[in-house]
């Protein structure tokens, strides 16, 4: 089975735009949003005096606004996702299971994420909130992420097919395949064929290794 995990932030959900919007509103009204880049490190613009201040802003002051009210990375993404899921039910070569995952969430952000998912109306059956990156490795054999920390973790892991959604924070990261957006992944007719070949080769290698032991 092909198990694809799609990270929410930076791939499906545009939290950076929300962080900048409410940072300008609450902390720095002089911040010119037109001069910011949502595909760069958002905290180059939203600067905090301490990690505690930053975490309070994200997890206590504005979790609903950041995680719940964010828009999708593109306007058409929910429709593309649902069409893709429908097509996957007819994919004859292998079973494909898709779920979302989101790291570093807790308490109010988790319930806000459920609201976000209900709002965009995708028909993905499962959302996972891993406590650490190791949990992602155990759950999927394919991941789609824009998160530099996730991509760095999987750099030397040959058991997972890593799809990188490119932005300015992850330019030096290594992956099996790079795209500009999840829209491009969905529209790539060769994507599942390449993933299936990778998964089959990995399974065959595991079987051969087991027989040799």
Enumerate domains of the chain plus CATH numbers.
2-9+75-105+125-212 (3.40.50)
CA dist list (Å): 148 to 161, 163, 200: 16, 12, 27
Residue 71: DSSP 8-state: P
Average pLDDT, integer, range 41-64: 96
In tens, the pLDDT along 116-146 reads 999 999 889 999 999 888 889 888 999 999 9
Buried b (16+ CB within 10 A) or exposed e, 18-32: bbbbbbbeeeeeebe
Region 101-126 average pLDDT: 94
pLDDT higher than threshold 70 for residue 208: no
pTM above the 0.85 mark? yes
Helix (H) or strand (E) holding 117: helix 108-120
What is the pLDDT at residue 143? Answer: 96
Q: pLDDT digits over 152-193, tens only?
A: 999 877 789 999 999 999 999 999 999 999 999 999 999 999
Average pLDDT over residues 18-47: 95
Confidence band of 97 (pLDDT split at 50, 70, 90): very high
In this predicted structure, what is the pLDDT of residue 28? 96
- Predicted confidence at residue 134, as pLDDT, reads 87
């Amino acid at each position: 089975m092909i198990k694809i995990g799609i990270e929410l932030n930076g791939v499906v959900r545009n939290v950076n735009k929300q962080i900048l919007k409410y940072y300008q509103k609450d902390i720095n009204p002089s911040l010119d949003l037109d001069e910011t880049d949502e595909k760069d490190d958002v905290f180059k613009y939203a600067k905090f005096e301490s990690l505690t201040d930053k975490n309070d802003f994200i997890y206590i002051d504005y979790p609903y606004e950041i995680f719940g009210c964010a828009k999708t990375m593109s306007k058409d993404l929910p429709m593309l996702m649902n069409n893709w899921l429908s097509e996957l039910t007819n994919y004859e070569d292998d079973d494909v299971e898709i779920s979302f995952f989101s790291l570093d969430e807790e308490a109010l952000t988790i319930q806000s994420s459920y609201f976000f998912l209900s709002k965009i109306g995708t028909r993905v059956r499962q959302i996972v909130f891993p406590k650490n990156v190791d949990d992602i490795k155990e759950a999927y054999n394919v991941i789609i992420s824009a998160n530099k920390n996730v991509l760095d973790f999987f750099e030397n892991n040959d058991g997972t097919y890593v799809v990188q959604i490119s932005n300015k924070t992850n330019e030096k990261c290594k992956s099996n395949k790079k795209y500009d957006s999840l829209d491009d992944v969905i529209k790539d007719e060769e994507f599942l064929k390449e993933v299936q070949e990778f998964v089959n080769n990995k399974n065959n290698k595991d079987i051969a290794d087991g027989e040799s032991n």
